[in-house]
Every structure is written in structure tokens, then in C-alpha cells.
Amino acid sequence: MKIISFNVNGIRSACSKGLVDWIKVEEPDIICFQEIKANIENIPKELVELEGYYSYWYPAVKKGYSGVGIMSKYKCQNITYGIDNEFYDFEGRCIRIDYEKFSVLCAYFPSGTTGDVRQDFKESFLDYFTKYILKLESLNKRLIIAGDVNICHKPIDIHNPVSNKNSSGFLPQEREWMTDFISLGYADALRQVSQEPHQYTWWTFRAGARERNLGWRIDYHLVGEELTPLIKNYKIHNHIFMSDHCPIELEIDL
């Protein structure tokens, strides 16, 4: 099974750059989108009505902001919108689909790059998210969390760890949260397959960062412990230029 995650930085923009044709070529079983930045009625029909897929969308209340979605070849048994907290769900950050043997949670974590208020919001979200996942006792060991976590976990995940040591997304408390969360029984799927450096998923639009591969790895598949042994391969589609992020792909034997 192929599970792709992609922060599209605007679903309409990505569709105008070939997203639908790319999906037709890749044929993922499940694809998770973050930052759709569109209400359901504004998502291009060619995507929503793509043959062979069920689609589930959870936009933010604020127009043109945040929002997540999942498309799947398989009709799910249950779907959960949000994480049971209006403070975060107002921004359309999480959607989960459940099947008999596994669940997929598409997540778009807050960024703290715009100042202290949003950094505080981000850190409160991290605390709440951990508590929420722990409540999913019957699901969390077979849960796949796919999305934009907005955190580089280790120095290998960022192009210049020294100069970015005080940057949101690489702060000590954020990295510690990642370590603690993974210790609950989750695997960083990429690192189950490869320990190679310079594998990034996001690049600033400034200063030719993408061309020089001066990036950050802030997009992940975090795989519950019962599913971790089933990971087969992992791929970062860094040749796809539809967004400031690129798609990431988990191949897993489900």
C-alpha cells in the first residue's frame, strides 16, 4: 500500500500545476493533503471527483487558510473530523479515517514562525495532541500519522542546525516533544529505511534554497508500533515543484 502526504500550500494552486495528473500517474492508495486553503465547494472538481477515490475534507473556518483532506481508494469504516477541541479544530488541522486493521490521521501542525503568540499556540497544540493520541487506546498502535509537523527532529533533518538553533521548528522544546512522542510507540518511517542526510521536504522560496537543497524535513509519516515492522520503503518526491513542500511516500504492507 502506498500512502502519500503532501502539504500543497493551496489545493487550487497545486491543481493548476498538475496535481491531478500526478496522482493519476502515482496511483497512491491514500493521499493526505495539508494547507488546502479552500472551502469544500472551492476545491477543483477534477480532484474531488477523481475516478477511483473517496474524498474527505476538513477546511478551516477562516477562508483561504490551513485545512486538511484525505483521498482514498477504499471507503473508510469511520471518519473523525478534528481532535475534539474547538480551539484547534477551528483551524482545520486534523482528519482521521479508520479501517479494520489500521487508521490514518492527516495532520497539519501549527507554525510558530510569525511570533510568540503563534509559538505558544503551537506548543499548546503539541501538548494537547499527545493527550489526544493517548486517548485513542484501541487505535494508536495501528495508527499512521501523516502530515506537516512543522518540526525538524534532529540536526540531520535541517540544512544548517547551528544557525537555526533558535528558530521555530528547531527549538529544543519542539525537538524534545518529537523524541517524547516517538517514544510512546511510533516510528519515523523514513529513518526506518534510510539514515542519509540532506533529505528535506520544505524549502523557503527565498535565495534559491530549493535549487541548492537548503531545506528542512518537517513532513513525516509516524507509524504505530504494530505497523512499524510492515514498512517496506520510503520516498521523498523532491523533484515535484507544486508547493514549497514536496510529497512524501510511505510504502507499507497492510
For residues 111-125, give the mean pLDDT. 96
pLDDT exceeds 90 at position 86: yes
CA angle 203, 71, 67 (to 5 degrees): 55
Q: How many CB atoms lie within 10 A of CB 121?
A: 17
> How high does pLDDT run on average in the chain?
97
What is the predicted pLDDT for the residue at 212? 95
d(CA 173, CA 209): 26
Options 148, 157, 188, 219, the catalytic residue? 148
pLDDT exceeds 90 at position 134: yes
Told to judge if 188 belongs to the known catalytic residues of this protein, a careful annotator would answer no
Reported pTM:
0.97
207 band by pLDDT with thresholds 50, 70 and 90: confident
Sorted by sequence, the CB contacts under 8 Å of residue 148 that are 6+ apart come out as 5, 7, 34, 35, 107, 108, 109, 202, 218, 219, 245
Q: Which three cell numbers stand for residue 18?
A: 498538475
Q: Which three cell numbers stand for residue 251?
A: 510504502
What is the predicted pLDDT for the residue at 109? 98
What fold is seen in the domain 2-252?
A: Deoxyribonuclease I; Chain A (3.60.10)
pLDDT tens profile 4-22: 999 999 999 999 999 999 9
In percent, how much of the chain has pLDDT > 70?
A: 100
Q: Which three cell numbers stand for residue 24?
A: 493519476
What is the predicted pLDDT for the residue at 96? 98
Q: How many CB atoms lie within 10 A of CB 56?
A: 18
Domain range list for the chain? 2-252
Q: List the one residue out of 65, 97, 103 whose CA is nearest residue 81.
A: 97
What is the predicted pLDDT for the residue at 50? 98
For residues 119-144, give the mean pLDDT. 96
Q: Which three cell numbers stand for residue 224?
A: 504505530
d(CA 232, CA 174): 28
pLDDT tens profile 212-237: 999 999 999 999 999 999 999 999 99
